[in-house]
Amino acid sequence: MVRKKAKFEVEKGILLEHIQKAGLRRTSQRDLILEIFLGTEDHLTSEDLYSLVHKKDPSVGLTTVYRTLKLLTEAGLAREVGFGDGKTYYEHHYNHEHHDHMICTECGRVIEFFSPDIEALQDEMASNFGFRPTHHSLRMWGVCADCQVNTAESQSAPSGAQPRVRVKTAIN
Amino acid sequence: MVRKKAKFEVEKGILLEHIQKAGLRRTSQRDLILEIFLGTEDHLTSEDLYSLVHKKDPSVGLTTVYRTLKLLTEAGLAREVGFGDGKTYYEHHYNHEHHDHMICTECGRVIEFFSPDIEALQDEMASNFGFRPTHHSLRMWGVCADCQVNTAESQSAPSGAQPRVRVKTAIN
DNA sequence: TTGATTGCAAAGCATTTGCATGCTA
DNA sequence: TAGCATGCAAATGCTTTGCAATCAA
């Protein structure tokens, strides 16, 4: 049986290492924020995560969440994503392989997908230009399968109100 | 010989049609802003375009540029692009086919490229999910060929200071 | 003990909105 | 003439920064 206490051990180690290498300090706030961040499956803004953290420890400030999310990004534990609404969302890699996004403009659902063929073609295009890519972002906006059905009869769903749920898939 | 006066005639017609269909009004500001927008080859923020417009007619306000750029986007004459610096850039289609972007994080150069194979694979992925895409955005960040050479010897170039130049290419 | 970290308040920025005035259709 | 468009100032929303107090190493 897998020990429950060992959850996020790897990630915690990564953060600690990054902190030590950079001459920074480990704090209870950073531990808590990382823990809660990894424990959710949504795409979160700093404000979103702040609300969650605040429930566990009301003394933690919004600014610290902003700063910590930046720190986690530097450590490679978080990735910034934009969905076109002007806010910055964060996602973690825990239980999620590298992927791209389809964003439903009706319900806000976010579908994660991955295509090794697309990745290969991207690299090929880059090398055509002598361009050395460090990271990339592929997003498709449109209407998801559910909303195509719903929109046909009723009026469009309350867009923007839904959380940015990570819909994981097995399709490659 | 091609008549010079006919420049942007098609685009002006598109804007006019959109304006009439929506029950809006044609104004000298909108004409001027479109003209100057199409006349540049950079990726422009509202502020950038405002500076250019302001030279020709100082009475035009920044707010109007913001609003007009939105209007041009609705009319299909402009496209919003983000390069990760928090600002919204706009590009036009005049003399530019649909394309994606590579962004050099050293000098800010933006390389436009197009891959029909990637487009096809995107559509394929979408249909796998019953997702009906309306538009997409593929961006790659990294170091362009020039900067790979320069960075090797000297310190990195003054990043962010460069304009978002559209480097057109013939590679498909 | 030293200097990084925190929380709060204030500042920054890009963008949007309210409103009186101007102008198009 | 009706009501859309404009320009200005003010407001908004997200994010960052200044600073005194706190805390990790």
Residue B156 Cα, gap to closest chain A Cα (Å): 15
- B9-150: which CATH architecture? Orthogonal Bundle (1.10)
Q: Per residue in B106-156, pLDDT tens?
A: 888 999 999 999 999 999 999 999 999 999 999 999 999 999 987 655 544
What are the structural domain ranges in chain B?
A: 9-150
Instruction: Give the pLDDT confidence score for residue B142 in this predicted structure.
Output: 96
Q: Which residues in chain B have Cβ-Cβ distances shorter than 8 Å to A137?
A: 137-139
Pairwise CA distance, residues B110 & B133, whole Å: 25
Phi, psi values for residue A97, rounded to 5°: -75, 170
Closest among A145, A135, A134 to A99, alpha carbons compared? A135
- Site from B114, B118, B134, B146 to mutate, A interface, most A CB atoms within 10 angstroms: B118
Q: What is the pLDDT of residues A74-101, one digit of tens each?
A: 999 999 999 999 999 999 989 888 999 9
> A120 — contact with chain B (CB < 8 Å)?
no
User: Are the Cβ atoms of A139 and B143 closer than 8 angstroms?
Assistant: no
- pLDDT one digit per residue (tens) for chain A, 172 residues: 555 557 899 999 999 999 999 999 999 999 999 999 999 998 999 999 999 999 999 999 999 999 999 999 999 999 999 999 999 999 998 988 899 999 999 888 999 999 999 999 999 999 999 999 999 999 999 999 999 987 655 544 444 445 666 665 533 2
Q: Is B136 on the interface with A (CB under 8 A)?
A: yes
Distance A24 CA to C7 C1' (A): 19
Residue B149: per-residue pLDDT: 86
User: CA–CA separation, A154 vs A60, rounded Å?
Assistant: 43
Question: What residue ranges of chain B have pLDDT lower than 70?
Answer: 1-5, 151-172
The H or E element that residue A43 is part of is none
Minimum-distance residue to D3 (CA–C1'): B24
Which of the nucleotides lies closest to A66 (Cα–C1')? D15
- A98 close to B (CB below 8 A): no
Note whether A83 contacts B: Cβ–Cβ < 8 A. Answer: no
User: Distance between CA B143 and CA B145 in Å, rounded?
Assistant: 7
A117 → closest Cβ in B105, B121, B128: B121
Question: What pLDDT, on the 0 to 100 scale, is given for residue B160?
Answer: 43
Model pTM?
Answer: 0.88
Q: Taking the mean position of all CA atoms in its chain, how far away is CA B48?
A: 12
